[in-house]
Amino acid sequence: MKINDLLHQTSEWLKGTGPNSDIVISSRIRLARNLQKFPFPHWANKKQNRDILDAVAQAVPAIEGLKNATLFKLSELDNIDRQFLIERHLMSYEHAQKTDFKGLIIDDEEVISIMINEEDHIRAQVMQSGFNLFEAWGILNKVDESMARELPFAFLSDWGYLTACPTNAGTGMRGSVMLHLPALIMTRQINQVLAAIAKLSFTTRGLYGEGTQAVGNFFQISNQISLGPSEKEIIENINGLIRQIIEQELQTREILMTKSKIMLEDKIYRSFGILKSAYTISSQETTELLSLVRLGVDLGMIRDITRRTVNELFILTQPAHLQKLENKKISSQERDFKRAEIIRQQLTVK
Amino acid sequence: MLCNICGKNPATVHLTEIVDNQMNELHLCEECAREKSSQMEQQFGLSDLLVGLTQTEKSSEDKEFANLKCAGCGLTYKDFKKIGRLGCGECYTTFKKYLGPLLKRIHGSTIHHGKTPFLTVKVTKNKVDVQELRQQLQKAVESEAYEEAARIRDQIKEIEQKQSPEPGGNEEK
Ligand SMILES: [Zn+2]
Ligand SMILES: [Zn+2]
């Protein structure tokens, strides 16, 4: 597989399917693992980092689910490719910095991805569409078991899997759910929700980046605690919280539909109209308007395009994706033209 | 609106930061937002650690442990305090006395209840290497990890029971 092959397929997490996919975009589980006898990547020397990369690379053929996977060396990719992989949520922004001896394994379907020599030797993740953490865990657990057969992991019986940062020790597990919450934001109820989440030791962040929550009505919610509860308990705790948020968002959508239907229709159809007719558009405006169009699809107001089309547009209109489509580096102004063009094409009913 | 950090580029990313249940609004340009988010994640781990450390640490212990060095990787306790990251798996044993209270502060627990990598030995290999398990058992006993030792002992028992009906399977007493 080559990076360019990914451009024309839909990432698993963007398919717009799975439970509660009107509100939940995707579910993701990642595990942090480290090899015994090797320093953690930040503390290892070059030779050690190379040995770690080699050891994991050698194990790949024996790892479950990676029969059709490709290992990329980050130092061999150009900036646009790296940015492209970040936009597809296949790796972190941090992983694209200081790329010596860093690796990324991706399976053909973009379900499983494994970062080598990020903060930990191994950061393996599985993504699923919709509200589906247990499904993701089922896949990742098998990946982990087959890795453990090949690679000796640093582990203590009382403290679990050992990680570079003690905040990840124990299960090494982070479960994240990406939510689309336009109604809670429109009605300004989101702050209460977020404050409650912070009290419960969960973290929120935006579509991109860590530790923050950003634009476009998207929120990613993750567990903070990784030592103590079992993997199953961690997932159950996240699920409990997510179910409450979904319920609140649904109720608020219903209230908006009964009390301010015309206002809502106006917002949604105007957004749709701008996206279908603009000839230049920024990334920021795109995300905001697409979010409203997605709400329109979810509420059954817009019927001639699918959720999947809207989801794909979120990613195709990102800077590196636009440049991959053009097959060259283009300026921010040119990107705004290209972005508008792609949106017009996709939203025009064939 | 201009970016709150650089004051030059237009603010296109609007963040809400929650620190100690206080919400702060930030309006940033795309570039500063990226910077900020990677920074925040690091700080997040770090500040958590530092709070934990200062609270569990007494000045006399500080002196005693500042130069404590991990035999596995050479990281000192001082290094750890500075960078907020450990050097290798062995560091957890070297700095056990300090990490215990810190883990408790971060996670509210110091006992792992999740999966272990050892179970896979049983599940995966057809001819399980009992010898290998015995070595693990001995190691566990030596490092006083009795819970783990008990688990491995059960595993060995289970395997031997499974293997015993096999013709020629050498049963150990
Ligand atoms: Zn700025
Ligand atoms: Zn060490």
Mutate to test the interface with B, among A97, A156, A184, A212 (most CBs of B within 10 A): A212
Tell me the nearest-neighbour CA distance from A215 into chain B, angstroms: 6
Which of A7-11, A290-294, B15-19, B80-84 has the least mean pLDDT?
B15-19
* CA neighbours closer than 13 Å in the CB half-sphere of residue B116: 18
Say whether residue A169 is in contact with chain B using an 8 A CB cutoff. Answer: yes
A231/B75 CB distance under 8 A: no
Which of A266-280, B127-141, B143-157 has the least mean pLDDT?
B127-141
| Model confidence at A322: pLDDT above 50 | yes
Query: What is the pLDDT at residue B45?
Result: 39
Query: What is the pLDDT at residue A180?
Result: 93
Ligand nearest to the CA of B99: 2
Residue B80 near residue B70 (C-beta atoms within 8 A): no
Ligand nearest to the CA of B3: 1
Residues within 5 Å of ion ligand 1 by Cβ?
A: B 3, 5-6, 9, 29, 32
Tell me the nearest-neighbour CA distance from A107 into chain B, angstroms: 23
For residue range A88-98, list pLDDT tens digits in order. Answer: 999 998 999 99
pLDDT confidence of B43, banded at 50, 70, 90?
very low
Say if strands A155-156 and A160-161 run parallel, antiparallel, or are unpaired. Answer: antiparallel
A162/B89 CB distance under 8 A: yes
| Model confidence at A23: pLDDT above 90 | yes
| B96-104, Cβ contacts within 8 angstroms, sequence gap of 24 or more | B97/B65, B98/B53, B98/B56, B98/B57, B98/B65, B99/A159, B99/A166, B101/B52, B101/B55, B101/B56, B102/A166, B102/B49, B102/B52, B102/B53, B102/B56, B103/A159, B103/A166, B103/A169, B103/A227
Q: How far is the CA of A155 from the centre of ligand 2 (A)?
A: 13
- What are the C-alpha distances in Å from A335 to residues A287, A295, A326, A329, B41? 14, 25, 9, 9, 29
Query: Looking at chain B from residue 50 to 79, which residues have their Cβ under 8 Å from any Cβ of chain A?
Result: 72-73, 75
pLDDT confidence of A206, banded at 50, 70, 90?
low
Nearest CB partner across the interface for A211, out of B44, B72, B75: B44
| Model confidence at B63: pLDDT above 50 | yes
Query: What is the pLDDT at residue B5?
Result: 81
What is the domain partition of chain A in residue ranges? Answer: 3-252, 261-347
Nearest CB partner across the interface for A154, out of B89, B103, B151: B89
Query: What is the pLDDT at residue B54?
Result: 40
pLDDT confidence of A37, banded at 50, 70, 90?
very high
A194/B23 CB distance under 8 A: yes
Query: What is the pLDDT at residue A150?
Result: 93
Query: What is the pLDDT at residue B173?
Result: 34
| Model confidence at A320: pLDDT above 50 | yes
A43/B140 CB distance under 8 A: no
Ligand nearest to the CA of B9: 1
Query: What is the pLDDT at residue B61?
Result: 58
Query: What is the pLDDT at residue B93?
Result: 95
Q: How far is the CA of B32 from the centre of ligand 1 (A)?
A: 4
Pick the more confident residue, B150 or A278.
Answer: A278
| Model confidence at B31: pLDDT above 50 | yes
pLDDT confidence of A348, banded at 50, 70, 90?
confident
Residues of B in contact with A138 (CB under 8 A): none
Q: How far apart are CA A94 and CA A86, in angstroms?
A: 10
CB-neighbour burial class of residue A263 (10 A; exposed 0-12, middle 13-18, buried 19+): exposed
Mean pLDDT for A159-180 is 96
Q: How far is the CA of A271 from the centre of ligand 1 (A)?
A: 27
Query: What is the pLDDT at residue B20?
Result: 44
Which of A38-47, A56-65, A75-84, B140-149 has the least mean pLDDT?
B140-149
Residue B34 near residue A83 (C-beta atoms within 8 A): no
Which of A64-73, A212-221, B128-137, B163-172 has the least mean pLDDT?
B163-172
Query: What is the pLDDT at residue B16?
Result: 56
Say whether residue B22 is in contact with chain A using an 8 A CB cutoff. Answer: no
Query: Looking at chain A from residue 278 to 307, which residues have their Cβ under 8 Å from any Cβ of chain B?
Result: 282-284
pTM listed for this prediction: 0.78
CATH number, domain A3-252:
3.30.590.10
Kindly report the average pLDDT of chain A as a whole number: 91
Query: What is the pLDDT at residue B126?
Result: 42
Query: What is the pLDDT at residue A26?
Result: 94
Q: b/e string for A295-322 if b means 16 or more Cβ within 10 A?
A: bbbbbebbeebebbbbbbbbbbbbbbbb
A43/B109 CB distance under 8 A: no
Query: What is the pLDDT at residue A207?
Result: 56
| Model confidence at A243: pLDDT above 90 | yes
Pick the more confident residue, B13 or B110.
Answer: B110
| Model confidence at A120: pLDDT above 90 | yes
Query: Looking at chain A from residue 46 to 105, which residues have their Cβ under 8 Å from any Cβ of chain B?
Result: 93-94
Ligand nearest to the CA of B77: 2
pLDDT confidence of B52, banded at 50, 70, 90?
very low
B15/A214 CB distance under 8 A: yes
